[in-house]
Amino acid sequence: MFTGLTLGLGEIGGRVPDGGEFELTVVAGFAWSDPLELGESIAVNGACLTVAARVGPRGFRAHASGETVRRTTLGTARRVNLERALALGDRLGGHIVSGHVDGLGTLISARRSASSLVCEFGAAADLMSLIIPKGSIAIDGVSLTVNEISAETFTVNLIPHTAEMTTIGFLRPGDRVNLETDLIGKYVKRLMTFDENRPRPEGLTLEFLARHGFGR
């Protein structure tokens, strides 16, 4: 699990294709607080990857599966946000982020509002149904608060620190981003959505209880 409070920027220094998958070499632009461990999880632009090998003091290799390549920008991204997995006892300053990217969004516009940057993103309908005003969303792994939504777009506000320290401040209209919607919202939607072949629950009545063995 992650918080969406990224540690800093890094670069994908190498990308070796493997039948629709990739072997990535990622190099942090900062010094890790302690050495990376083999098998640990790193969020790379919001996608949870496993450290398969260390490359020098700041780099590592990781495998991006076909599913990861299809759902994220890791097949083309160069500059990336990096975050290590949350440890027990750490401050949860952002929100609960799984590192499982739901899909892609597109930056539509960015405008200044005082010292902040207001960004409008477009997303597919299935993702928009999970985005609510003042809810949380991870964009390229960065925890942000949703300001406003429409049928196809939503806006977020970037303070100067976020714009300077993450990839989002470098985006241009038309650039694609990785989106992870709120984890709790996804479970709520699933519980409220019934498959066509699954019987819908009946009201809790005495007849219903009797048919299912209660009161015998």
In the chain, the domains with their CATH numbers are 8-84 (2.40.30.20), 103-192 (2.40.30.20)
Summarised one tens digit per residue, pLDDT across range 163-208 is 999 999 999 999 999 999 998 888 888 877 765 556 555 566 667 6
Cα(17)–Cα(83) distance, rounded to whole angstroms?
Answer: 24
Cα(55)–Cα(46) distance, rounded to whole angstroms?
Answer: 21
Could you tell me what percent of the chain has a pLDDT over 90? 79
Residue 65, classed as helix, strand or coil, is coil
Cα-atom radius of gyration of the chain, to the nearest Å? 20
Cα(82)–Cα(10) distance, rounded to whole angstroms?
Answer: 7
Residue 176's Cβ-side half-sphere holds a number of Cα atoms within 13 Å equal to: 14
Query: What type of residue sits at position 148?
Result: E
Contact 83, 167 (CB under 8 A): no
Strand order in the sheet with 53-55: 47-50, 41-44, 79-84, 8-18, 21-28, 59-64, 53-55
Quote the pTM value.
0.87
Summarised one tens digit per residue, pLDDT across range 48-95 is 999 999 999 999 999 999 999 999 999 999 999 999 999 888 888 889
